[in-house]
Amino acid sequence: MSSILPPARRIWWKEPVEKLEVWWIVIAFAWALVLFFMMPYWHVFGKQNLSNEAYRISAEHYQKKTQAMVDKYTVRTETEQNIPVVHPPAGSDVYLIARLWSWWPILELEHGQKYRLHLSSLDYQHGFSLQPENVNLQVVPGYEMVVTVTPNKNGTFAIVCNEYCGIGHHQMVSRMYVK
């Protein structure tokens, strides 16, 4: 039979479902339920999925807020691009800009202190990945993502962009200090 001809039985779809198919539907449905309940489970008991808040914000406004923090709390500059290293007071709001293809500024945080970490992009979508910790956050233009963090390890951490954002994506790396 070719698809050009009508099916032999006109009401071809109105047949009892085969037993094997029923079993596959049951298995697929059960697995979907497992995945569904794993989402809240990992949010509460996993370490990767942080609770974030999101607010609408324009790129200009976000840049202004970040600049204000940088003007106030820069302690030195690093790298060939003279990126400011900012040491904001413990417990304060800290801002990080993602843009093609860099992170700005470099944050220096204190061990065991709570911070409100703000993230936003000035252009396209980027991904905030903190290495070697398992922290992943989407950085979306037009939105300010806020996570409450308490650094619990000393050292220098790498920040890499894990959302493909164009030709310089692999160069979009930075660092964060905790001491």
> Is residue 145 involved in binding ligand CUA (CB under 6 A)?
no
> Is residue 164 involved in binding ligand CUA (CB under 6 A)?
yes
Q: Which of 107, 140, 172, 176 binds ligand CUA (CB under 6 A)?
A: 172
- As beta bridge partners, residue 177 has 108, 156
Largest pairwise CA distance in the chain: 81
Please give the residues from 90 up to 109 whose contact with ligand CUA meets the rule CB under 6 A: 101
CB atoms within 10 A of CB 150: 11
Q: Mark the segment that binds ligand CUA (CB under 6 A) among 49-57, 80-88, 109-117, 163-171.
A: 163-171
Q: Which of 161, 175, 176, 177 binds ligand CUA (CB under 6 A)?
A: 161
Handedness of CA 76, 163, 94, 120 (dihedral sign): positive
- By CB under 6 A, the count of residues binding ligand CUA is 8
- Contact status, residue 105 vs residue 86, Cβ threshold 8 Å: yes
> What distance in Å separates the CA atoms of residue 18 and residue 149, rounded to the nearest whole number?
53
> What distance in Å separates the CA atoms of residue 115 and residue 90, rounded to the nearest whole number?
7
Query: Measured from the CB atom, is 79 or 171 closer to ligand CUA?
Result: 171
SS3 content of the chain, % helix, strand, coil (to 5): 25, 35, 35
> Is residue 41 involved in binding ligand CUA (CB under 6 A)?
no
> Is residue 55 involved in binding ligand CUA (CB under 6 A)?
no
> What distance in Å separates the CA atoms of residue 129 and residue 87, rounded to the nearest whole number?
20
Q: Mark the segment that binds ligand CUA (CB under 6 A) among 12-20, 58-66, 107-115, 156-164.
A: 156-164
Query: Measured from the CB atom, is 39 or 158 closer to ligand CUA?
Result: 158
> Is residue 83 involved in binding ligand CUA (CB under 6 A)?
no
> What distance in Å separates the CA atoms of residue 123 and residue 6, rounded to the nearest whole number?
53
Residue window 124-143: x/- pattern of binding to ligand CUA, with contact defined by CB under 6 A: --x-----------------
Q: Which residues bind ligand CUA (CB under 6 A)?
A: 101, 126, 161, 163-165, 169, 172
